[in-house]
Structure 1
């Protein structure tokens, strides 16, 4: 029913969601109570009640960001998100004008600095408003011989999810797709992220080794499996950059690229990302009981209304020239403001 697919051989990721957001609904104020499976049958074309019930049981439908059963009765103003594991094929991509922050481009590759809140790829039933729609339009403008029927085959060789900001590389030729896919598969691509996490890490730096796989009960989530009995091997190296008492700014370097790897690994060691509503960071994890502190944290959530994760650098060997390339991006405004607020707080905190 919708998210982001991870194929480690071709599209490794962090934060990318294997499920595609197909439909986002807000229940009307005047809606009478109704079973959610019945409600969705009326709104999803060609969907059977049995299929929807299975989707509900498998965590493919969330109400107010929580999994519900088929007998749940919807209430006015409920927010419903329906997911799918089916990705849109290239021929279904609709070019759409949107601003793109292109950091570099040549005949083989594009480097794009993705803002937070932008979905990377269309999904079944949700064809517009994504980064790939914007790239298709951009390429069409560069070559007016291109139309909806002959869009160039550009490749996503890795992904970052909707609420992660930062650098992505897109391959524009088959040679670039093959080269970049192999580099990601061989773990030779240099990827550095910055994250604000809850808590004061005990060590200045460390390595997290734990398999990452889909949660065995809640299908939208991923989990860490330290014994390796489930999921795929995942390795994250972290280093403390700045401490704020109750939160810490860290640098994370990916050795592997599993779905939600940084978010899952940091939660696994007890330090979820700040304001990560999927992995427990959207509430006070560390701090005091004072109302002023609670208000401060709420203000921080408002400043950065998403998990605090940014793909800061990416480095690889150019598919055509063979030269080493390294790109770096600045922190987006929301994370900059968030960090400044925590700097101010720790500076003026009573001893």
Structure 2
């Protein structure tokens, strides 16, 4: 019998979230068929064992609920498939690296990541990462933990190496799936604080522009306002404090594309202060005269990375369904630069 489907791809590996999602809506004409067999014919390269394992791990939802492998799909079903598509990490070497753990229970870890720490091993960063540190921490808690359990343990999102702030990790598969769904449904509260170049004409606004890899320089990301490349991305911003030449803003994410805030701020002419990828590591606003240049260079020296901090994180607890909210202190380097700008503008006002 003929069948028709609406198949929609959502998210990509070029994203702070580490899970891709495939949504299949069966509109009509579907004869009853076991879900594992149904998905085998829909997902290229997938094995039955892998699909069955995903179903057992609640990585497959039908009408927003987990099902068994013998569930038979039917017309009207909305099937959501979560799949970890980020680069495989063959081995995690536990390393004794200090962690700033803000909260922990049987299901989640909330970590305040310092600037300069990579979240997970990859090309050029085989060790010294947050995941290496967490593996060591878990190993100390349970010396008999299976090494395979340490590989990419519970990582559902990430933040850039030189961005500081809050990150949540799952401690079991149920928590991982539950949190992944919240990230994809854009229900996770994420508030960043950024120091950006220039002054704003308005107090708040929204940037809507696709974000994807640069077509020529693959290490960079760029905005595609016409939506011809990349994935949809939405950033809401609000002015917190003005310093004439730079502005302190809050950014709230609806989507979590890699470098999203940095790319969106560059798009509207306000690159992040000292962002060496997107043009913020030079004087963007202000006359380049000796004293001012020296002042800016001193600020760059105080905060030797893009001035971006993941300050707030909120979500529904995967086990208790309670609303969880966490807030981290601003890091010393950003605080020092902000205070320096306050004094500089105050001094200029009294000249």
* Residue in structure 2 matched with residue 205 of structure 1 by the alignment: 204
Residue by residue, what CA displacement relative to the aligned partner does 1:196-231 show, whole Å, maximum 9, x if unpaired?
000001110000011111111111111111111111
Change (3 A) 1:227 1:238: same
| Separation (CA, whole Å) in 2 of partners of 1:286 and 1:198 | 6
Q: How far did residue 127 of structure 1 move?
A: 2.2
Q: How far did residue 125 of structure 1 move?
A: 6.0
Counterpart mapping for 1:1-351 below 5 A: 6=14, 10-11=18-19, 87-89=87-89, 91-124=90-123, 126-146=125-145, 148=147, 151=150, 154-349=153-348
What SS is found at the alignment partner of 1:187?
coil
| Mapped contact 2:194–2:250 kept (Cα < 8 A) | yes
What SS is found at the alignment partner of 2:150?
coil
- The TM-score with structure 1 as length reference comes to 0.75
Q: How far did residue 233 of structure 1 move?
A: 0.6
Change (3 A) 1:269 1:98: same
Q: How far did residue 332 of structure 1 move?
A: 0.3
Q: How far did residue 11 of structure 1 move?
A: 4.6
Change (3 A) 1:233 1:223: same
| Mapped contact 2:197–2:272 kept (Cα < 8 A) | yes
| Separation (CA, whole Å) in 1 of partners of 2:106 and 2:126 | 26
Residue by residue, what CA displacement relative to the aligned partner does 1:108-160 show, whole Å, maximum 9, x if unpaired?
10000000000110014642100100000000001121264653762111110
What SS is found at the alignment partner of 2:196?
strand
Q: How far did residue 193 of structure 1 move?
A: 0.1
Larger Rg: 2
Q: Which moved more, 1:234-243 or 1:282-291?
A: 282-291
Q: How far did residue 297 of structure 1 move?
A: 0.1
| Mapped contact 1:10–1:185 kept (Cα < 8 A) | no
Runs of 4+ off more than 6 Å: none
| Separation (CA, whole Å) in 1 of partners of 2:325 and 2:148 | 35
Change (3 A) 1:190 1:342: same
* Structure 2 unaligned regions, length at least 5: 1-11, 21-84
| Mapped contact 1:88–1:122 kept (Cα < 8 A) | no
| Separation (CA, whole Å) in 1 of partners of 2:265 and 2:290 | 27
Change (3 A) 1:11 1:349: farther
| Separation (CA, whole Å) in 1 of partners of 2:118 and 2:152 | 19
| Separation (CA, whole Å) in 2 of partners of 1:138 and 1:125 | 23
| Mapped contact 1:199–1:271 kept (Cα < 8 A) | yes
Change (3 A) 1:299 1:105: same
| Mapped contact 1:315–1:326 kept (Cα < 8 A) | yes
Q: How far did residue 257 of structure 1 move?
A: 0.6
| Separation (CA, whole Å) in 2 of partners of 1:88 and 1:152 | 9
Change (3 A) 1:310 1:159: same
What SS is found at the alignment partner of 1:160?
coil
- The TM-score with structure 2 as length reference comes to 0.75
| Separation (CA, whole Å) in 1 of partners of 2:124 and 2:196 | 34
| Mapped contact 1:87–1:122 kept (Cα < 8 A) | no
| Separation (CA, whole Å) in 2 of partners of 1:144 and 1:264 | 43
* Residue in structure 1 matched with residue 5 of structure 2 by the alignment: none
* Residue in structure 2 matched with residue 18 of structure 1 by the alignment: none
